[in-house]
Amino acid sequence: MCVLAADGECSVNTEVKTEAKREIKQLLSTVAVDIEFGDESMNIQGKVALITGASRGIGRAIALQLAQQGAKRLILIARDRQKLAEVAQEIERMGVEATIMSLDLTKPAIVNIAVAQLWRSYGPIHLLVNCAGVAYQCSFLQSKLPQVQEELSVNLLGMYTLTSLMARRMVSQREGTIVNVSSLMGKVAAPTMATYSATKFAILGFTQALRRELAEHNIRVVALLPTLTDTDMVRDLKLFRWVVPMTPEQVALVFIRGLQKNQAEILVGWQSHLAIWCQRLFPELLEMILHIFYPKKSSPITYRTSGEL
């Protein structure tokens, strides 16, 4: 293990019903949706990958799954060095090289130095997985500006900084894949998660724009949209308990299949497909469902997590 340090109304007719059935079939018969790149699949074997948020949850599960798929080296980034070291040990037992770096992605100057050091030591890096994120769950009227700023800084600006530095280097080698972890809440916003949902919507827009810009440089840009996932956060979450969480390992498996199938948006879980189907065809019904499961005013919530929803 290598450790690095870095400072109108309309009637429903037969045609509409047919189209609805077709869309339902499409949504429920796949695990990943919407866009595919081409026929050439991504070969993970022998590649170098950098994963942020790799100390736990989805980031950790993706790192372990990439190791099982035969990656050459995994660069693990998070704030918790001890947990990173534990993940690295698991990876090295699989015969895969691992490098850890404790890094605050909200510090652009430090991130710049770290990326230069990593690329010089272990480049080229073929795969970037932006999985780091934080979330606060609370009523919008109870939200605090420091919490909002942290969500924006980590979920958006930190991802932007790292992606910018990595993309420029990938362009020079005319090869690379960038995966931005959004969420089902990047498609369907949830009460009490206003800022988090906003950042996840923004990640999707950012990803779609980059996908078109970087395609000419042979760089693929992918969005991963997990549903509610069984991380440390879910134990205290007071919203959507009717949703059965997936495990991080299940999310990681879907992620790998999506990469191998060259899908540009990887939507995880049948519940996610159902929610998006409902939003597209019956938005009023979805609003009713969200209202029913809105937390009671007598139970204010403020919860911080580094996991993914």
Q: Which residues are catalytic?
A: 196
Torsional class of 100: left (φ above 0), alpha (ψ -120 to 50), beta (otherwise): beta
Which of 216, 121, 123 minimizes the C-alpha distance to 174? 216
List of residues 6+ apart from 270 with CB closer than 8 A: 28
CB atoms within 10 A of CB 111: 20
Torsional class of 66: left (φ above 0), alpha (ψ -120 to 50), beta (otherwise): alpha
The answer to whether 294 touches 192, Cβ cutoff 8 Å, is yes
Q: CA neighbours within 13 Å on the CB side: how many for 288?
A: 5
Cα torsion 92, 95, 99, 105: sign = negative
Cα torsion 144, 181, 154, 66: sign = positive
CA gap 15, 276 in Å, rounded: 21
Query: Is 292 exposed, middle or buried (CB count within 10 Å of its CB: 0-12, 13-18, 19+)?
Result: exposed
Which of 118, 135, 141 minimizes the C-alpha distance to 58? 135
> Residue for token digits 């969200």?
290
Give buried/exposed letters for 83-94 (b at 16+ CB in 10 A, else e): bbbebbeebeee
